[in-house]
Structure 1
Amino acid sequence: MCRWQAWWKGLVPLALLALVAVFFARAPLEGALADRADDLLNEIGESWARASFDGRDAQLVGEALSEEARVKVRSELSRMSGVRIVDDRTTLLPERRPFTFSVIRDGLNVRLEGYVPSRYARTRIVEAARNMAPDVKVSGDDGLVRARGVPAGDFAGVVAFGIDQLARMPAGRVTISDDSFSIEGRAPDFTTYDALEVTVRTDLPVDFKLARFAVLPPTVSPFIWSAEREDDGVLLAGYIPLGDARRALLDAVRGAVPGAAISDQLRLADGAPNADGWLKAAAYALQQLGRLPGGKVGLSDTSISIEGRAPDFAAYDALAAARRAVPEGYTLARFAVEPPTVAPFTFGVLKGMNRIRLVGYAPSEDAKRLLQDAVRAAFPGTAVSDEMRIASGGPPAEAFVAAVSFGVSQLGKLRTGEFRGYGTAFSLTGEALDSVAFGAVSAALKGEIPGGFKVSSSDVRPPLVSPYVFGLRRDADGLTVSGFYPDAAVHDHLLQEARSQFLGTPVNDVSSIAFGAPEGFGRAAEVALRELARLDNGEVRFDDLKLHMTGTALFPSAVDSIRTVLAANLPKGFSVELALDVAPPPAPMDGRSCQKALADTLAKAGPLFAPASAALAPGSHGVLDHLAAIVTGCPEATIEIAAHADAQESGGDTDNAQSAARARAVADYFAQAGISAQRLLAGGSAADAAAPGERVQFIVR
């Protein structure tokens, strides 16, 4: 028989035992199911989802990137053994358009900004950022936001790729916007810049495109660029600014040198002046290069250089004109363009009455400018006509400047004239301003010529004067020569005659050379000088063809004698105005004093005779008049006269006869001067002597 009351009392403990057993057995079951669910979700690539269990019932949470991902997770989890039902509490992540992400580096500081598709992607990105460089500090990782809208492809991989590129620069930014990749910064050197450009343009992960490569090349200083003409084209080297400068520059090359092959060795670099100004300066330089086969142009910051050889004068003139049209903000620091070569290399400075002309060629612009400065300094206010061209083939510029400066200096002493050069020789022609200038030019041409030049010819004429005046004045101080003479030969002859005719009288020469002398002037001056030597004092003056003579004759008969000699010996066309006084008779002397006076006079000069003849030479009248005046002062004395015959005629009777005849000729001259013939004993033979003063001897008795 059943004792149900006792049995019921046993059910309570049994139920408690069952509940305890179920409770302690459920927890391990739920944990095991959760672990298996995590593994499954990782295996299917949906780690964004998490599953928890209540017994065998799964509760699914998380933010999905897409509805397809939610369906996939539910389906896969529901098929997992041990799972009874799946409670899907997942949601969709907010969608971001565009889906952006940025990595910003500033030295050792790296900041992450933007959206990530999953925790896995975030972990991978943060790890890549921390491995960028030792001691790098990463910030912003906790602010990364998971979102839908991630582009196709390996998003975390492209971010890591960008971080690797940033590692090469001290500062920069990588930006991903949907499937567009952008990078900016400044490369520390050209090697890094080249590597970055190649890598980014060629190795960017698939499914992504390069939207912007804004990595700046290194900054260079000076910012240099050059273009050089070669046989078959143009070589471009150096640096080029950022932007569209390359295309514009290549267009400028094609415009300046049509059809030329272009060898582009340019590098992008930072540090250029203003890009627009730089392109204008480069285009200006290329325009000049187009005129220079084999030439070279360049920029260094804001300095322009041009070098080469101009093929002709048209090209050189255009290049020279371009020197005055340099783009604003730039300077032409070097202009080394050689002008065309000419042969022969001629040049000249021509001085007219009111204008200076520069003709021929100069070896350089600087040389020409220095010549112009010299001309303006030498001829202030005078109009200068510059017809000179620049050319090669001549003397060095320094030698040219030295020579033409010398020539200009000489032209300054001429009324009109021409200085013309031929290579390293020159000629000088013209009329001197005055006699002093003529002497200065003549002396300069005989001296050392600057620049190693030589004088090929010279025709510098003395000044032309009118009336043509010349004077000789004899007084107590000596003989003064003044006025003008036509040439050095006449001048030297007159001075020689003066020293021999005037008995040792000092000669003060203040005359100067000049053109304009009447025909026969030299002969007329010589005749006048000899007659002046007969006076005690006096002056001779020529005014063109008119001769004026004044002074004091030593005795009365000398006046008529002088008039006769002048009338007979002056060249045709000359006229004479004579105004002579006669000196008073000299004070009487005793015989000893008379002898001494005669000897002193003969010591200075003596009478001359025609060769092999007893005829007195015309140049003897002066000394004979002074000897006659001495004899006049010895009224009580008898004078014995002896003469010496020429050596070539000496011998026997002929010698004695010539000596006697010459002695009588002197006695006759004294008699004509008014000395009594009874006081004169002539016919003796003087001792052998070579000096003129020893060929006639006087003995006072």
Structure 2
Amino acid sequence: MCRWRAWWKGLPALAVLVALAVTFARAPVEQDLTERAETLLSVIGESWAHARFEGRNALLEGEALSEEARIKVRYELARLSGVRIVEDRTTLLPERRPFTFAAIRDGSKLHLEGYVPSSYARRRIAEAAAAMAPGIVVTGEKELVRARGVPAGDFIGVVTFGIQQLAKMPAGRITISDDAFSIEGRAPDFASYDALEVTVRSELPGDFDLARFAVLPPIVSPFIWSAAREKDGDVTLSGYIPLGDARRALLDMVRGAVPGAAISDRLRLADGAPPTEGWLKAVAFALGQLGRLPNGTVSLSGTTIAIEGTAPDFAAYDALAGARRNVPEGYTLTRFAVEPPRVDPFVWGVQRSANGLRLTGYAPSEEAKRLVLDAVRGDFPGVPVSDEMRIAMGGPAAEAWVAATSFGVSQLSRLRQGAVRGTGTTLSIAGEALDAAAFMTVRMALEESPPRGFTLRSDVRPPVVSPYVFSLRKDGDGLTLSGFFPSPSEHERLVEAARTQFFGARLNDVSAIAQGAPQGFTAAVMTAMRQLSRLESGEARFDDNQLKVTGTVLYPEAVTSVRANLAAGLPSGFTLDVALDVAPPPAPVDATACQSLINHLLDKGTITFSATDATIETSSFGLLDRIAAAAASCPDALIEISIRQPDTEAAVAAARAQALVQYLAAAGIAPDRLITGEQPSLAVQTPTGTNGPAAGVQLIVR
């Protein structure tokens, strides 16, 4: 007979058996799925990912190089037999642009830094670095950062290639930035230099471009170069040539100096030369003289030029003697003293135009002229220079002439077009400045450091800009002035008005001086500034004679008032575009907090009136709008207005108090909240305004 009333007593034992079955059956399933998942991820080339299982649910983890890789792994793992759900907890490696890598060798030390695409790449690169040279100490391999953004191509291969090139130098550096490869250092000898240049330029792995080959050849001293013109007219070049494209330029110079001559080039690339630009100028000078010598030799040793040979005629001799006046900067030649003719008046000039510079008139000596030419080339690199100066006597002392003319050339470099002219000991500088900063620099130089011994005359004007823009932007950081102003005095006036009307707010002045302002510009800006001070935030922007005002007013009634005041205050010829929003109403506060807000405003600004009546000055509208906004935050309180005018009749003081009542009422404050008091009960402001006598205004919240 069944004992159905006691069957439940076997349930605990049954539950234990079920739990044991699940536990011992789950572990083999998870292990099997884990092993098969790792094999799958390796086969599909995504070994960065790892899967662990809770039952048949996969938890996917790892850092992917791309979103496509994450999608691929999720898809393949979901297809794996036995997997129920795939939970993706993978993340993307950060992308780096540019993707950079560098290896720096210093003797037996090699330092690695930058990004690698994977742990595998890091390991391979570290192995290549360790194998670079016996006893090499490698640092930085553990700090290489895995990241996305690796350029296309064999990244590991190009790094290994670069490390192999570093092995040929005692010190150097390779840099990879995206697909650009650079190498720098110094070869220990000419053979190593030749091998490095050939290898890097011809065997760099594909998909990578050689951005910079800055391996220096050995240093030689002295740096010798010579050109000899043989009896048959051929030219033999011997010695060394500096890095870069100097050889091509040099050969072109030889062909130009000695047309049709066969050239025997025995030059060797080497380091230790003077600056290439100056060296090529010296070579050009020397070759120019060689062209006048059928049998001659010109040579450079460091910065010394030597010319040897026999001139074929007097014309050639005169030309050779005259060429000594144009020895390149930084180089010396045998002294040649020729006394020039005397002139009266002694005049000279440097004119700058769109076509370049023109030097005219006279210079007191060859050396003085050379120094001025050097100054011109230094201040006007790459600008065409027409040198028409002649050497003459009768002028200022050479040292003073050079100082004055160089001073003028320095100022001329800051002018768009202009001229420096001298007559005796009078120096004149005239023209239009490149920009506002240049104008201020020239103005300061003319005032603080005029050339000694010269009378200075100046007609330097600010730049002309069009369109003529100016902006006042008010925000939480203060007031920003940008654009242009016509003169320093008007700028000072605007800045002073801004400090007054914006209650000492932080002023960020990035404006600059320029010509081209429309008529009435300053008056228009003052009008815009007064109304901008009434906005919570906003901008007043001038574009020639067009004014656009945008921003947020503190209360709805201010929209019409601001627009009307702008229209009435702008000078004739200005157009107006106004787009204003209204700020949300302030949060309610109690009377004490309201009084604190109003006191704070009166501490920062001053309410001023016309000197003779109760008219409120427009410069006070910004302060009154903020007082109105503060009063709106305590709608149940009364506002008592008190005026103290020690030197003003009581009737005028009362009228001024009523004027404030009317202004606040027009700003949305209920008239029955506004009362006037005869005597103030708190400390009264008594600032001295520029538009009237001392005045004190007190507002008491009751």
- Provide the TM-score with structure 2 as the length reference: 0.50
Are positions 1:659 and 2:653 aligned together? yes
- Runs of 4+ with >6 A deviation: 317-322
> In the aligned structure 1, how far is the partner of 2:659 from the partner of 2:510?
37
- Which residue is equivalent to 1:442? 443
Displacement, 1:510? 0.7
8 Å CA contact retained: 2:471, 2:539: yes
8 Å CA contact retained: 1:445, 1:455: no
8 Å CA contact retained: 1:419, 1:429: yes
Identity %, equivalent residues: 51
Displacement, 1:643? 1.8
Q: 1:543 to 1:392 in 2, by over 3 A?
A: same
8 Å CA contact retained: 1:408, 1:419: yes
Give the partner amino acid of 2:344.
Answer: V
- Which residue is equivalent to 2:271? none
Q: 1:585 to 1:407 in 2, by over 3 A?
A: same
Give the SS at the match of 2:573. Answer: coil
Give the partner amino acid of 1:698.
Answer: L
Give the SS at the match of 1:623. Answer: helix
Displacement, 1:683? 5.3
Displacement, 1:415? 0.8
8 Å CA contact retained: 2:602, 2:685: no
Are positions 1:604 and 2:604 aligned together? yes
Displacement, 1:661? 1.3
> In the aligned structure 2, how far is the partner of 1:415 from the partner of 1:497?
33
Query: Per-residue displacement from partner, 1:319-355 (whole Å, max 9, x unpaired)?
Result: 98683499xxxx9744152530423x33221111113
The number of equivalent residue pairs is: 375
- Which residue is equivalent to 2:642? 642
Structure number with bigger Rg = 1
Are positions 1:335 and 2:314 aligned together? no
- Which residue is equivalent to 2:511? 511
> In the aligned structure 2, how far is the partner of 1:443 from the partner of 1:339?
37
Displacement, 1:672? 0.7
- Which residue is equivalent to 1:680? 674
> In the aligned structure 2, how far is the partner of 1:503 from the partner of 1:528?
16
Query: Per-residue displacement from partner, 1:274-324 (whole Å, max 9, x unpaired)?
Result: xxxxxxxxxxxxxxxxxxxxxxxxxxxx9xxxxxxxxxxxxxx99986834
8 Å CA contact retained: 1:642, 1:698: yes
Displacement, 1:515? 1.4
- Which residue is equivalent to 1:471? 471
> In the aligned structure 2, how far is the partner of 1:531 from the partner of 1:318?
78
> In the aligned structure 2, how far is the partner of 1:555 from the partner of 1:592?
22
Give the partner amino acid of 2:586.
Answer: P
Give the partner amino acid of 2:697.
Answer: V
- Which residue is equivalent to 1:383? 384
Give the SS at the match of 1:385. Answer: strand
Give the partner amino acid of 2:348.
Answer: F
Map 1:50-449; keep pairs closer than 5 Å.
323-324=321-322, 333-335=335-337, 337=339, 339-343=341-345, 345-449=346-450
8 Å CA contact retained: 1:501, 1:619: yes
Tell me, which stretches of 5 or more residues in structure 2 are unaligned?
1-307, 309-314, 325-332
Displacement, 1:406? 1.7
> In the aligned structure 2, how far is the partner of 1:495 from the partner of 1:417?
31
> In the aligned structure 1, how far is the partner of 2:405 from the partner of 2:562?
54
- Provide the TM-score with structure 1 as the length reference: 0.50
> In the aligned structure 1, how far is the partner of 2:603 from the partner of 2:695?
8
Tell me, which stretches of 5 or more residues in structure 1 are unaligned?
1-301, 303-316
8 Å CA contact retained: 1:323, 1:332: no
Give the SS at the match of 2:678. Answer: strand
> In the aligned structure 2, how far is the partner of 1:518 from the partner of 1:696?
38
Are positions 1:482 and 2:482 aligned together? yes
8 Å CA contact retained: 1:554, 1:583: yes
Map 1:7-86; keep pairs closer than 5 Å.
none
Give the SS at the match of 2:473. Answer: strand
Give the partner amino acid of 1:340.
Answer: R
Q: For structure 1, which segment, 348-357 or 424-433, has the greater mean C-alpha deviation from structure 2 after superposition?
A: 424-433
8 Å CA contact retained: 2:542, 2:548: yes
Give the SS at the match of 1:609. Answer: coil
Q: 1:325 to 1:410 in 2, by over 3 A?
A: closer
> In the aligned structure 1, how far is the partner of 2:464 from the partner of 2:444?
20
Give the partner amino acid of 2:381.
Answer: P
Q: 1:437 to 1:333 in 2, by over 3 A?
A: closer
Q: 1:339 to 1:524 in 2, by over 3 A?
A: same
Give the partner amino acid of 1:393.
Answer: G
Give the partner amino acid of 2:350.
Answer: V
Displacement, 1:505? 0.8
Q: 1:595 to 1:387 in 2, by over 3 A?
A: same
Q: 1:457 to 1:603 in 2, by over 3 A?
A: farther
> In the aligned structure 2, how far is the partner of 1:357 from the partner of 1:385?
5
Q: 1:360 to 1:656 in 2, by over 3 A?
A: same
- Which residue is equivalent to 2:153? none
> In the aligned structure 2, how far is the partner of 1:498 from the partner of 1:522?
13
> In the aligned structure 2, how far is the partner of 1:319 from the partner of 1:468?
59
> In the aligned structure 2, how far is the partner of 1:323 from the partner of 1:492?
58
Displacement, 1:443? 2.1
Q: 1:544 to 1:324 in 2, by over 3 A?
A: closer
Q: 1:561 to 1:376 in 2, by over 3 A?
A: same
> In the aligned structure 2, how far is the partner of 1:571 from the partner of 1:609?
23
- Which residue is equivalent to 1:689? 686
8 Å CA contact retained: 2:606, 2:687: no
Give the partner amino acid of 1:535.
Answer: L
Displacement, 1:381? 3.6
> In the aligned structure 2, how far is the partner of 1:605 from the partner of 1:581?
24
> In the aligned structure 2, how far is the partner of 1:464 from the partner of 1:548?
22
Q: 1:325 to 1:497 in 2, by over 3 A?
A: closer
> In the aligned structure 2, how far is the partner of 1:486 from the partner of 1:319?
58
Give the partner amino acid of 1:337.
Answer: E
8 Å CA contact retained: 2:349, 2:361: yes
Displacement, 1:410? 1.4
Displacement, 1:390? 2.8
> In the aligned structure 1, how far is the partner of 2:444 from the partner of 2:368?
26
Give the partner amino acid of 1:520.
Answer: G
Map 1:529-568; keep pairs closer than 5 Å.
529-568=529-568
Give the SS at the match of 1:511. Answer: strand
> In the aligned structure 1, how far is the partner of 2:316 from the partner of 2:405?
26
8 Å CA contact retained: 1:356, 1:383: yes
8 Å CA contact retained: 2:404, 2:454: no
Query: Per-residue displacement from partner, 1:170-194 (whole Å, max 9, x unpaired)?
Result: xxxxxxxxxxxxxxxxxxxxxxxxx
8 Å CA contact retained: 1:659, 1:685: no
Give the SS at the match of 2:337. Answer: strand
Displacement, 1:525? 1.0
- Which residue is equivalent to 2:128? none
8 Å CA contact retained: 1:659, 1:683: no
Give the SS at the match of 1:510. Answer: strand
Q: 1:388 to 1:320 in 2, by over 3 A?
A: farther
8 Å CA contact retained: 2:321, 2:336: no
> In the aligned structure 2, how far is the partner of 1:557 from the partner of 1:457?
57
Displacement, 1:360? 2.9
Are positions 1:528 and 2:528 aligned together? yes
Are positions 1:618 and 2:635 aligned together? no
8 Å CA contact retained: 1:360, 1:387: yes
Give the partner amino acid of 2:676.
Answer: A
- Which residue is equivalent to 1:223? none
Query: Per-residue displacement from partner, 1:588-644 (whole Å, max 9, x unpaired)?
Result: 121221111111111111111111221111211111111111111121111111223
